[in-house]
Amino acid sequence: MPDATPSPADAPRRWPRARSLFLFWTVVGLFFGARPYINHFFFGIPKVTSPRSFVGNLADAYYWALLCLPIFWLGLRFRFTRRKWPLSVAVHVPAALAVGLSSVVFNWKLGGVLWPENPAPFFEYFRSFYFDIQWYVAIVGAAYAFDYYRRFRDREVHAARMDERLAEARLEALKMQIQPHFLFNTLHTISELVHEDPDAAERMIARLGDLLRLTVDNAQTHEVTLAQEMEFLEAYLEIQRTRFHDRLEVMVNVEPETRDAMVPNLVLQPLVENAIRHGTASLGGTGVILVKTVRENGRLRMEVHDNGRGPQTDARPRQRQGVGVRNTRARLEQMYGPEARLELTHCPIGGTVAAVEIPFRRAAVPAPQRAAHPVEVAA
């Protein structure tokens, strides 16, 4: 074990609490005070004690409670490490002898107070000297055990914090990967319209500015309210409506009680983008996107429907899992573990349903109330 001498500032917090010490030494004093009674009842040994024995043993125990603190400090300060063991021996041996001798003197004086009519000679108390040395060694061993436990606990806490920071970094990396992906696609769309429809391109640039503002506002957070997420999604859908004109129809059905739910930032936009890009964009007619949220059994379910061709083969769903869907799934796993789920399935009436389920958790500050729009249709 590496030598890690504690600093004076760290030493007090490493000591056991005074209340625990008091209780421990009280139990020790009561145990030794009751030992003659135990021997009498269970082994038939004649009882040769009196209530004063309890007083004497308790006083001796509390004396050791006071000695325990400097011994504990010496145990932490002078450890038997490879480099410093000679110094530790030079400190602990005389300290143990001094403590043992002081205990003998204390008990001799205490005996003279408790039994003044028949005081025992001083040398009789030396019988406990070896026992007192054992107490010293035991307290130093307890200091070692306490220090080992503290180091083990500190390593556990440090490892947990490192895991938390690593998970946070991964989450941030995934989110940062989504944002450039979204911006590149949007800029590509705008570039296609610059010459074909300058007015539409201008409107898209304006909406892109709104999106960037919302992105910056929520850049430092991984969770937002569903209302905030829908605000961002509506700005994104405006761009897509401008791009596809009457070839895109969007319906939004958000249960009012889900507006305050906390959801991952940018959780819906990649799914809608995926539905448009891989579902409705290749259709000859009008593409339909339905965004729906509902609270079910303590969970929040968010669905994105499209009327595209849907997954035709087993391999098709994998083809539809672009960067946005893959990162969304990874972010859900990072944030919620097995409590979250993202599935791409067949829609009963055709197309694909991308469904996200996460635990329902209401925001501490409710989202601002807005005019409800259970169904929005844009052409």
Bridge partners of 299, per DSSP, are 296, 359
Residue 237's nearest CA partner among 209, 211, 201, 258 is 211
Whole-number pLDDT of residue 53:
77
Q: What is the share, in percent, of the chain residues with pLDDT greater than 90? A: 13
Whole-number pLDDT of residue 176:
62
CA 259 to chain centre: 27
CB crowding 189-205: b at 16 or more within 10 Å, else e: bbeebeeeeeebbebbe
Residue 294's nearest CA partner among 341, 252, 248, 244 is 252
Q: Give the whole-angstrom CA distance, residue 326 versus residue 190.
A: 25
Q: What is the mean pLDDT of each run of 10 residues along the chain (379 residues)?
A: 46 61 86 76 64 83 89 88 84 91 89 79 81 90 89 87 73 64 74 76 79 73 88 85 80 91 88 83 79 92 86 51 76 87 83 91 68 39
First to last CA, the chain: 72
Q: Give the whole-angstrom CA distance, residue 15 versus residue 22.
A: 13
Q: Give the whole-angstrom CA distance, residue 99 versus residue 113.
A: 21
CB crowding 124-152: b at 16 or more within 10 Å, else e: ebeebeeebbebbeebbebbeebbeeeee
Whole-number pLDDT of residue 173:
65
Whole-number pLDDT of residue 377:
36
pTM of the model: 0.55
Q: Give the whole-angstrom CA distance, residue 203 versus residue 209.
A: 10
Residue 374's nearest CA partner among 256, 248, 294 is 256
In whole angstroms, how far apart are CA 45 and each of 52, 55, 109? Answer: 19, 21, 28
